[in-house]
Structure 1
Amino acid sequence: MALWQARPGLAGYDITDAITFCFITQAFIGPMQLMGGGLTLPERIRSGDIALDLVRPASLQLWALAEDMGRAAYLFLVRGIPPTLLGAALFGLYFPAGPGQWLSFLAGFALALLVSFGWRYLVALSVAWLLDDRGVAILSMVLTTFFSGMMVPLHLFPGWFGELARALPWAAMVQLPTDLYLGKAPVADTLALQAFWAVALLGLGWLGTRAIRHKVVIQGG
């Protein structure tokens, strides 16, 4: 609040936008699992239980996605909405002006969940080759925290660095859907960028799933 009082209009936000940004991004932490994790795959790969998952008549990736979406929905309800409502009562947050803006935000939120899952699924699959996911999990947390917009709006980053940060997949998890909520982003372009990263990461996850299937067979299960 002090920053926006000293610099009105900073990053294209007024003080209400800035406070709303803070509460909305905090509400995303649970559903998007921004600190990493949320998937059981690393432990199942280490224990060898993944071999049973791979012979089941269901897609490992889709099964993990369904499980993750259920977790995200629960955390959005119990971890995301109550603090936001409290923030609205204490500070007076911004709310979308009409149904069109709400629909664009919900579409962006759904795509953000897919991007988040796609990234974390790749991190989880890396255990098949690295055996220990702690290093890559810490790297993932640092990248997600810094480049998603969870710490500060990415619009504060200057020049080409800011443009790059807003084009990376982590921005699609937080910054882009929050801008849709605030009405600060072109809807079609924003959703298209999110959809691109969702398809790209899920596609890489599909290839990674095929790769670990061959790896498990080669190792004899």
Structure 2
Amino acid sequence: MLFPRLIRAGFLRYSSYRQAALAGLTTNVVFGLLRTAVLVAVLAERGTVAGYDVAAAVTYVWLGQGLLTVVLLWGDVELSRRIRSGDVVVDLGRPWDLQAARLAGDLGRAGFAVLTRLVPPAAFGALVFGFRWPAHLGTYALFALSVLAAVVVSFAVRFLLNLSAFWLLDARGVLAVWGVVGGLLAGLVMPLPWFPEWARTALWWTPFPALFQTPIDVFLEQASWPAVIHQVLWMVLLLAAGRVVLERGGRRLVVQGG
């Protein structure tokens, strides 16, 4: 029963920052308006681009703005700080699995973000501009599964990047590079279907599309089960890699501590 309790604790922890959530929501809406204006202007000149018309572009923008905090590409530096300070020794000594415990907390955080940072901007975009809604009810369930997979993939990547502090001591540089590159290659800045074909093919072999583009494509019914399976495969691979790196990092920590 520990895992569900940690999920609840993660939810309650982030729900205490209501003013921060409101400020972040306001920022999301403002940037959503700016991004909508840019994409609509592009499509006004071109008509459609890679299957995206105005309705699809609006849906892409507002789902992306909503998923930004749910998936959480950046801002997660707590573990690397605890490694640098040595406080991670306490975490490793507790009667739990550190990776599973942090994943549970992150799922609770994502659950709160769905209610406060995904639903409101998506509802705003749908009411003001109009969405391209799925034609099949099953798409909503598949979208929810895809979002869950995206959260876990993002956690697994952030967990690995934070673990680099075992070797680098300061992981801020690695996390900063990820913050810049991740948004672009995950489909947050612009839709990945707008990339050249060779780039789309190359990105399919990486976890980047699993973070943002896949959930949005599933909602737009431009992707289905194969894309979600792609997410799940990367989820399993990255979580497994995290366990291996954590074990080796823990050994290094013992060596450093004498």
Q: Same fold (TM over 0.5)?
A: yes
Q: Deviations over 1:45-80 (max 9, x none)?
A: 111110011111110000110111111111121112
Distance (Å, rounded) in 2 between the aligned partners of 1:168 and 1:149: 13
SS in 1 for 2:143: helix
Report the equivalent of 1:75.
Answer: 113
Q: Choose the corresponding residue for 2:206, options 161, 168, 176.
A: 168
Report the equivalent of 1:143.
Answer: 181
- Contact 1:109–1:177 (CA<8 Å) still a contact in 2? yes
Matches within 5 A, 1:118-133: 118-133=156-171
- Contact 1:38–1:68 (CA<8 Å) still a contact in 2? no
SS in 1 for 2:257: coil
- Contact 2:132–2:220 (CA<8 Å) still a contact in 1? yes
Report the equivalent of 1:101.
Answer: 139
Percent identity between the two aligned chains: 37
- Contact 1:23–1:87 (CA<8 Å) still a contact in 2? yes
SS in 2 for 1:26: helix
Matched residue type, 1:194 = Q
- What value does the CA root-mean-square deviation take over the aligned residues? 1.3
Q: Choose the corresponding residue for 2:79, options 37, 41, 60.
A: 41
- Contact 1:39–1:64 (CA<8 Å) still a contact in 2? no
Report the equivalent of 2:46.
Answer: 7
Q: TM-score, normalised by structure 1?
A: 0.95
Matched residue type, 2:226 = D
Total equivalences in the alignment:
219
Distance (Å, rounded) in 1 between the aligned partners of 2:215 and 2:139: 11
Q: Structure 1 residue 38: deviation in Å?
A: 2.6
Matches within 5 A, 1:192-211: 192-211=229-248
Q: Deviations over 1:157-189 (max 9, x none)?
A: 11211221243211100001110010001x221
Matched residue type, 2:228 = L
- Contact 1:11–1:155 (CA<8 Å) still a contact in 2? yes
Q: Structure 1 residue 84: deviation in Å?
A: 1.1
Distance (Å, rounded) in 2 between the aligned partners of 1:80 and 1:174: 13
Q: Structure 1 residue 215: deviation in Å?
A: 1.2
Report the equivalent of 2:68.
Answer: 29
Report the equivalent of 2:250.
Answer: 213
- Contact 1:113–1:173 (CA<8 Å) still a contact in 2? yes
Distance (Å, rounded) in 1 between the aligned partners of 2:101 and 2:219: 30
Moved more, 209-218 or 158-167: 158-167
Q: TM-score, normalised by structure 2?
A: 0.82
Distance (Å, rounded) in 2 between the aligned partners of 1:31 and 1:180: 16
Q: Structure 1 residue 198: deviation in Å?
A: 0.5
Distance (Å, rounded) in 2 between the aligned partners of 1:142 and 1:171: 15
Report the equivalent of 2:32.
Answer: none
Q: Choose the corresponding residue for 1:50, options 81, 84, 88.
A: 88
- Contact 1:19–1:93 (CA<8 Å) still a contact in 2? yes
SS in 2 for 1:13: coil
Matched residue type, 1:159 = E
> Which residues of structure 2 form unaligned runs of 5+?
1-39
SS in 2 for 1:219: helix
- Contact 2:150–2:212 (CA<8 Å) still a contact in 1? yes
